[in-house]
A and B are shown apart, each in its own frame.
Chain A
Amino acid sequence: MKHTLVVLVENKPGVLTHVSGLISRRNFNIESINAGYTEEADMSRITIEVDADDEYELEQVVNQLSKLIDVIKIIDLTGKDRVHRDLALIKVKASPENRAEIVNLAEIFRAHIVDVNKETMIIELTGEDVKIDAICELLDDYGIIEIVRTGKIAICRGPKAAKDL
């Protein structure tokens, strides 16, 4: 089962390497990892999607990560009421004849066209990963040249910050 972990860490060089290194060294299966600044200057937030076989494996991931001195807190958002998003930029073949079709398709998905030239378009889409998977499947017919995705980030609904959960 996939779990979304929020890992709050000290904003120092090398911490992301430390976290990702620990996960791979302990032989856990990592689906996606994403790091960025937060509302506090000295804290970074890493969102990890990890595939755990059972609760024991998940517990090991959390407990091992907790041992890192630079890890401040780990919150498991799985099952909590939350918003999660992935950002994708998709470069797709777009001849003048099928350009309109692709624009229509993008509109249905509330995606943005961020670049157009004679042969291709770049589509920007944010959303849950299944939505991005869906547009990719449709765009495949036109010929996808390149996809870049950020991996999942997640935030809890309600008034509380993850660090206060």
Chain B
Amino acid sequence: MKMTGAQAIIECLKKEDVQVVFGYPGGSVLTLYDALYMSGFPHVLPRHEQGAIHAADGYARATGKVGVCMATSGPGATNLITGIATAYMDSIPLVLITGQVAVSFLGRDSFQEADIRGITTPITKHNYLVRDVRDLPKIVKEAFYIARTGRPGPVLIDIPKNIFAEEIDFEYPAEVNLRGYTPICEGDSQTMNAVFDELKFAKKPLFFIGGGLNLSDTSEIMQKIIAYTGVPTVSSLMGLGCISSDDPHFFGMIGMHGTYAGNMSTTETDLLIGIGVRFDDRVTGRLDQFASNAKIVHFDIDPAEINKNVRANIRVIGDLRWTLEKFYQKLQEKPAKEWQDQFKPWLEKLSGWKKEKPLTYKKDTDEILPQPVIEKICEITEGNAVIVTDVGQNQMWTAQFYGFKHPRSLLTSGGLGTMGYGLPASMGAQVGKPNKKVICICGDGGFMMNCQELMTIADLNLPVKVMILNNQSLGMVAQWQREFYNSHYAHSCMRTKADFVEIARAMGVPAVRLDKKEEIEAVLKKAIFSEGPFLVDIRIPEEEDVLPMVPTGAGLNQMILGG
């Protein structure tokens, strides 16, 4: 069928079952936007390209589908950079379509020209510059395939303006053939025997789960494995929700702001089984003291993750959808009762730690503390909401005090730690999950970084509930300054005359301020059960810290405890 490059892209999106694109028009993509207009393809217009890509990212995390984002050349494309890096660090599947100046203008510093392929090379799984319109269907097909298979990630396609207008005989390829890319799905069954043998002799084994379980939608089989063996389990930030927080085998998040039971068990374990984790430095603390008494088993789809930060004694490479099934089968060679008896004393020890030093906070205060606010949000939503956080103290309090129960229920920028992520990502999540309660928990600093998206949320009448934990400062920065820089609050205070409630109303979102402790429940309920979007400006004290905390350069058992 004869069509233009722009029409071909729309056809490709339909073939890939794309439901919606997030994008922002501009000079070099006008032909593409005309084709979108003519075909009536669903499109969300944010107020900034960074909003568009975080929204596509939130959409992908909430739904498990590939998020699609479009932008024009030059500044439009470079405004995507933070979002691309965010998605790359957390392995989120995205396809990004950027406009480029016409081929004849390439390399001449033309108006709105930027070498976006060069700029995004280190932060994309792969990228393309289309030079011939006939390659377009093949490239789009490859881009979606690469983004969603293997270890997922963002793929960028840069398309010069003239390519959108040129005609081709459209045919969508049925198959992808890339000789340098054969994503690993099935690993080596032999490794299961090795893991089985280690577990058989272990006294204090520990499962350490991560975002890989979310990405591969394998939390169900993981829950079976945990229930069958009775092995205690801890999680990274990205793994929260994969195992319900009220599971008696679950001991919370480990790392810099991890639980006492989690961090102590990591220090004491004799067999740490990491599953879909990448041993980030925020998790391990001081490397030579991390699980130093343990043999390490590492399940991952990406061979480059093995031995990158932590040396593994046994590597189990493969898609978790394959390896966990195999592992579960292998475990059946020993009855559940025997496994559970074997690990019972160890499980009891962890339960003791949990009881002795739970996550806690000051109870006798008239101020509104963030921790009980998060607990109350959890109570009102019965732990069933999709929670999107920004980055900093708000993110850590949410991770600690919202009892996550379901996979894909915490969307957060884990690897890159992108401030300004929360609001636009919650917008994308709500587009992808219209029937779910989506709640954005952010700080006042991060909220301001992309607050323009309130307007988009209002325009689309998306029922996103925005909870600003407002301490009038960059809370996590201030906490570090308090702890390690003699309380020199170098430019971390944001006492302002501006009013978030007024800002929200001006952008079309109803809002209230919460500054009385006795009103917490009523205000939160009003916000959460309201029909459309709602914003609550929650005034919390400036000097509230996130605790426990493991200082940089310390081992996980050297925590500063709170309460």
> Which residues of A are in contact with B by a Cβ distance under 8 Å?
9-10, 14, 17-18, 21-22, 25, 56, 59-60, 63-64, 66-73
Contact = CB atoms under 8 A, between A and B. Distances in A.
A67 B122 contact: no
A22 B129 CA distance: 19
A10 B303 contact: no
B129 to A, nearest CB: 8
B15 interface: no
A68 to B, nearest CB: 7
Contacts of B117: 14
A22 B302 CA distance: 16
Contacts of A9: 180
Contacts of B303: 63, 66
Contacts of B181: 69
B122 A68 contact: no
Contacts of A72: 179-180
A60 B126 contact: no
Contacts of B146: 69
28 contacts: A9-B180, A14-B117, A14-B121, A14-B129, A17-B121, A18-B121, A21-B121, A21-B122, A22-B122, A25-B122, A56-B307, A56-B311, A60-B304, A63-B303, A63-B304, A63-B306, A66-B304, A68-B126, A68-B180, A69-B125, A69-B126, A69-B146, A69-B178, A69-B180, A69-B181, A71-B180, A72-B180, A73-B180
Contacts of B125: 69
B76 to A, nearest CB: 22
A9 B304 CA distance: 19
Contact of A67 (B118, B179, B304, B306): B304
Contacts of A14: 117-118, 121, 129
Contacts, number: 41
B308 interface: yes
Interface of B: 117-118, 121-122, 125-126, 129, 146, 178-181, 302-304, 306-308, 311
Contacts of B304: 60, 63-64, 66-67
B348 to A, nearest CB: 37
A60 B308 contact: yes
Contacts of A70: 180
B307 A10 contact: no
Given A63-B304, A68-B180, A72-B179, A17 B122 contact: no
A151 to B, nearest CB: 22
Given A66-B303, A67-B304, A17 B118 contact: yes
A7 to B, nearest CB: 10
B121 A10 contact: no
Nearest to A73: B180
B39 to A, nearest CB: 30
A22 B124 CA distance: 12
A108 B302 CA distance: 52
B307 A67 contact: no
A14 B146 CA distance: 18
Contacts of B126: 68-69
8 closest Cβ pairs, A-B complex: A63-B304, A69-B126, A72-B180, A69-B181, A63-B303, A64-B304, A56-B307, A71-B180
